[in-house]
């Protein structure tokens, strides 16, 4: 027997694909809304974090 046969014989198994689709669609919808509404200052701050951490590390190495 194949695995598909076991899934077909389970009662109420058809709800899982619907739940998965709702979770997938909901997550990416919320993420898209957040990306559109996020403040540009926050994006610029996050964009500068790798650079500022590298500068701190270089300053500490130069101090030693």
pLDDT score, position 57 = 66
The contacts of residue 30 (CB under 8 Å, 6+ apart) are: none
Please say if the pLDDT value at position 60 is more than 70. Answer: no
Give the tens place of pLDDT for each residue, 7-59: 677 777 778 888 999 999 999 999 999 999 999 999 988 888 877 666 666 66
Phi then psi for residue 31, to 5 deg, are -65, -40
pLDDT score, position 17 = 85
Spans of all domains in the chain: 3-63
31 in Cβ contact with 25 (< 8 Å): no
Alpha carbon distance 33, 37 (integer Å): 6
């Amino acid at each position: 027997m194949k695995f598909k046969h076991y899934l077909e014989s389970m009662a109420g198994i058809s709800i899982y694909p619907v739940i998965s689709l709702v979770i997938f669609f909901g997550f990416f919808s919320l993420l898209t809304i957040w990306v559109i509404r996020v403040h540009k200052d926050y994006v610029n701050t996050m964009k500068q974090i790798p650079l500022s951490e590298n500068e701190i590390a270089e300053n500490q190495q130069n101090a030693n």
